[in-house]
Amino acid sequence: MWRRGVRTSIAGRTAGGSRMSLFPWRFWAWPSELRARGVMGINRRNGDFVLRANPRAHYPRVDDKLLTKKICETRGIPVPATYLAIERHGDVAQFGDWARGRREFVIKPGQGSEGRGIVVVAGREGPDFLTASGERLTLADVRYHLAAILSGLYSLGGQPDRAVVEQRIQRHPVFESVAVGGTPDVRVVLYRCVPVMAMVRLPTRASRGRANLHQGAVAAGVHLTTGKTSGGVCKNRAVDAHPDTGVSLADLQIPCWDDLLNAAMDLAEALELGYVGVDFVLDAAIGPVVLEANARPGLAIQLANRRGLAPRLERIAAEPDGPIPPPRRRELIAILADRA
């Protein structure tokens, strides 16, 4: 029976023209070829890792961003300061009083996903709000957006939600040449509290300043021991350079890398989730700050790294049952990185 090939950035050449090692001369790959190279699909992710490693009762710890923040705070892990939590439609009318004189903040759904519904206010022009992407919003626009969040427009399952207004993080200067109109973030995927893969997501003009791959951001893999970038993907195509600035995506050193990995392992342990993604931003003054965690982290991290997750997860699964001690986690990180 003939089977369709899968279009993937792990095949063919990069957008810059350089040849890749897995499937040269092609922009697609057969499913069997991807499996042979350790690329994991959503069914295996869910069946072998998410469902087995993550107790359903613990999902609210990551689905509710305010609860995630509380858990971080108990562990001393930095998070953006929370200014407001709006839960009732009647409170939306008072937002203008709170915002008077405030120039920077972030509005996000309490139980959103994939970056939907997030508005980053980066300045003011008279009574209006200016977003990080340059869009101008009136107070009425912001109130409408808050009401949409409360109504569940961006929440998981469309359930009524609350709007969280929090501190805007100041982008670390190391990202100035590879981020357009917004703040990059770093995703670390952990299994049994061991980091197995990482990537940095960089805003572009197409993503309107958001570090969201679904909206056109670019991502690069991050080496687990050195914290340096490699690979790259944008709009499901392999790239070697940022599409707007032309700056190479290779060998960018992520600041405070060891601190970031330690915070990721600490949070995964506190969440009691065996398979989890943790998202960080790098603040110019504070260093790594946790944005959120995800019990169902996506698989695009494989494209950014141009490597599959399956062999790394299988290596961690081969460890003896029970918690993996911190010293052994560090040994495993080095083992996984050497296999890259």
Find out whether 298 and 201 touch, Cβ atoms under 8 Å: no
Question: What does each of the 340 residues of the chain score in pLDDT, given as a tens digit?
Answer: 334 455 554 544 444 444 344 555 566 777 777 777 889 999 999 999 999 999 999 999 999 999 999 999 999 999 999 999 999 999 999 999 999 989 999 999 999 877 789 999 999 999 999 998 889 999 999 999 999 999 999 988 889 999 999 999 999 999 999 998 889 999 999 999 999 999 999 999 999 888 889 889 999 999 999 999 998 999 988 999 999 999 999 999 999 999 999 999 999 999 999 999 999 999 999 999 999 999 999 999 999 999 999 999 999 999 999 999 999 999 999 999 987 5
User: What angle do the packed helices 257-271 and 326-339 form, to 10 degrees?
Assistant: 120
The pair of structure tokens assigned to 22 is 């897995």
Question: What is the DSSP code (8-state) at residue 46?
Answer: I
DSSP 110-129: TTB-TTTT-EEEEEEETTEE
Q: Helix (H, G, I), strand (E, B), or coil: what is residue 267?
A: helix
State the pairing for strand pair 28-29/119-125.
unpaired
The residue extents of the domains of the chain are 6-61+172-339, 81-166
Find out whether 53 and 191 touch, Cβ atoms under 8 Å: yes
Find out whether 280 and 264 touch, Cβ atoms under 8 Å: yes
Q: How far apart are CA 130 and CA 311, in angstroms?
A: 45
Q: How far apart are CA 169 and CA 81, in angstroms?
A: 10
Q: Helix (H, G, I), strand (E, B), or coil: what is residue 320?
A: coil
- Decide: residue 258, CB within 10 A, 0-12 exposed, 13-18 middle, 19+ buried: exposed
Length of the chain: 340
Contacts 24+ apart (CB under 8 A), 28-32: 29/5, 30/3, 30/5, 30/6, 31/3, 31/6
Domain 6-61+172-339 part of CATH 3.40.50.2020? no
The pair of structure tokens assigned to 103 is 């120039």
Find out whether 221 and 304 touch, Cβ atoms under 8 Å: yes
The type of residue at 83 is Y
Q: How far apart are CA 226 and CA 92, in angstroms?
A: 46
Q: How far apart are CA 95 and CA 43, in angstroms?
A: 43
Write down the pTM of the prediction: 0.89
